[in-house]
Amino acid sequence: MPIEKGRSNALLATLRFLRPRKLDAYLLSEIIGPFAGGLLFFVFIFLMFQALRLAEFFIVHGVPGLTVLKMAFLMGISILPSALPVAFLIAVLSAFGRLSADGELVAIKAGGMSTLRMTLPLLVAAGVVSALSIALTMQWVPWGQTNFKRTLVKVGNTRVVSGIREGIFTSGFFDLLVFADRVDSKTNRLKRVFIYDEREPKNPLTVVARSGEIIPVKTQSDLGSAALMKLYNGSIHSLDPVSNSYQKVGFGEYRLYLKMDEGTASTVRKPEMIPHAELIQRIKKAPPGQFEHIELRGEFWRRWATALTPFFFVFMGIGFGTVRTRAVRAGAGMIGLSVLLLYWGVHAWATLQMQKGLIPPFFAQQLPNAIIGLLALFAFRRANW
């Protein structure tokens, strides 16, 4: 009987602890505004770093404004899985900093709600943020990055001449070395052109022409690129190393068909561009112990590790956000930025060690969470009074 009574009392205590309260809704309402503001702030900062690149598409390449906005939207999707947890941390820091500074935290505790009990509604919110992060990293981020790459290649297909800089030797243009004294990006025309074609190593060619033009060619694959280069009034120079003979051929018009197929070094997909289901299949097919297998497994565990961070940020936010006096405290944004730098610094180091084969992929991707978790536990214990 005493044992059954003890179990019954423990069950009642647990139910009372988990029972929803009005204060739960109040705490959640306190983090919604800062969360939305922090999310917009970090996405805005990221896009500001990309502003020059986007402006170049619009001004130099002549890309339509709607296409530039589409590219900005696709780039914004890629930063969301990282921005969501940090925005959540800022929200918890801001909410508990205000509650503590205004004395509301003392009143809430006097009403019978402990610091540990306050974590329940925040853990529910962390679960929502985590679910959004998982959905983004598993499907939406790969979709966004793939579509950004396709849009970028399409822009290159329609404005292919923009890859050639006026008065500068341009390497890597369809595996050619190109020099043009004048470049008109509106008409895709060139003047005084020099080309070194080493696509056939045994028979390299040097082509010189007074003028030329580049005509984009549509390809079957969105990730491919092709163009037809027409050169006028020039000559082709070649040197046969076997016979040690030099040959020069003049021409009125010379055509070069340039193509880059999908899957070449310039269009290969990075691990973060691979959807979750395909990623698992590629992990199974990759030879164990090889760099590809390690990199793919690292990407798999990175996605889950990023999604777990909001749960640690609940305790960290309460710990660093709670102050016992009305003294001036550090800004939530500064603390959030410091945590972000610490997290990604450890992540970069652990990833490098993983690629060298010194740390298993699972441990390498969870190491930042482990360090953040210890820091969160220390902060929460100090605030649990």
Query: How big is the CA angle at 89 (ends 86 and 94), to the nearest 5 degrees?
Result: 125
Residues 117 and 214 in one domain: no
For residue 2, being part of any structural domain is answered with no
- State how many domains the chain has: 2
Least-confidence region, from 42-56, 83-97, 123-137: 42-56
| pLDDT tops 80 at residue 12 | no
Domain boundary among 235, 260, 285: 260
Least confident of 114-123, 143-152, 158-167, 177-186: 158-167
Contact between 291 and 355 under an 8 Å Cβ cutoff? The reply is: yes
- Model pLDDT, residue 15: 55
Q: What pLDDT was estimated at residue 262? A: 47
Q: Facing residues of 237 across strands?
A: 206, 248
CB 204 within 8 A of CB 198: yes
Strand order in the sheet with 245-260: 170-173, 176-184, 189-197, 205-217, 225-240, 245-260
The pLDDT score that the predictor gives to residue 219 is 62
How far, CA to CA in Å, does 140 sit from each of 39, 78, 197, 302? Answer: 17, 8, 40, 15
- Looking at the structure, tell me whether residues 117 and 167 fall in a common domain: no
For residues 104-128, average pLDDT: 86
pLDDT for position 325: 44
pLDDT confidence of residue 363: 93
- 78 and 144 in contact (C-beta within 8 Å)? yes
Does residue 112 carry a pLDDT above 50? yes
pLDDT in tens, 267-288: 456 788 888 888 899 988 888 8
Convert the pLDDT of each residue in 62-72 to its tens digit. 667 787 888 88
pLDDT over 90, % of the chain: 17
The burial class, CB within 10 Å (0-12 / 13-18 / 19+), for 303 is buried
Q: Indicate if 61 and 108 belong to the same structural domain.
A: yes
Of 215, 231, 260, which residue sits at a domain end? 260
User: If pLDDT is split at 50, 70 and 90, which confidence band does 326 have?
Assistant: very low
pTM: 0.70
Integer Cα distance of 71 and 116 in angstroms: 44
Residue 291: per-residue pLDDT: 86
The whole-chain average pLDDT of the chain stands at 80
CA dist., res. 246 & res. 80, Å (int): 58
In a domain, 118, yes or no: yes
DSSP-derived secondary structure for 4-20? HHHHHHHHHHHHHHH--
- Is 268 within a domain? no
Most confident of 144-158, 174-188, 325-339: 174-188
**Residue 379: pLDDT over 50:** yes
Structure tokens at 285: 């097919």
Which residue in 143, 156, 302 sits closest to 217, CA to CA? Answer: 156
Instruction: Quote the pLDDT of residue 158.
Output: 52
Q: What are the strands, taking DSSP E only, across the chain? A: 170-173, 176-184, 189-197, 205-217, 225-240, 245-260
Res. 253: pLDDT tops 70:
yes
* Window from 186-195, 242-251, 340-349, 361-370 with minimum mean pLDDT: 242-251
Whether residue 328 is predicted with pLDDT greater than 50 in this model: the reply is: no
Q: What is the spatial distance between Cα 8 and Cα 4, in angstroms, rounded to a whole number?
A: 6
What percent of the chain has pLDDT above 70? 81
Same domain assignment for residues 247 and 308: no
Which residues contact residue 124 at a Cβ distance below 8 angstroms, ignoring those fewer than 6 apart?
Answer: 28
**Residue 362, pLDDT above cutoff 50:** yes
Q: What is the pLDDT of residue 309?
A: 92
Using the predicted structure, report yes or no on whether residue 60 has a pLDDT greater than 80.
no
pLDDT interval class at 341 (50, 70, 90): confident
pLDDT band at 323 (very low <50, low <70, confident <90, very high): low
Which residues neighbour 184 within 8 Å (Cβ) at sequence distance 6 or greater? 161, 190
- 3 occurs within a structural domain: no
d(CA 65, CA 77): 19
> Are 145 and 175 in a shared domain?
no
Res. 310: pLDDT tops 80: yes
Please determine, for residue 312, whether its predicted confidence score (pLDDT) is greater than 80. yes
Q: Is 248 helix (H, G, I), strand (E, B) or coil?
A: strand
108 and 27 both lie in a single domain: yes
| Same domain flag for 147 and 175 | no
- 91 plus 175 within the same structural domain: no
Domain that holds residue 209: 163-260
Asked whether residue 56 falls in the same domain as residue 80, the answer is yes
Q: Region 155-178: what's the mean pLDDT? A: 70
Is residue 84 situated within a structural domain? yes
Of the residues 228, 260, 292, which one is the last residue of a structural domain?
260
CA-angle at 25, arms to 115 and 124, nearest 5°: 70
Asked whether the predicted pLDDT for residue 180 surpasses 80, the reply is: yes
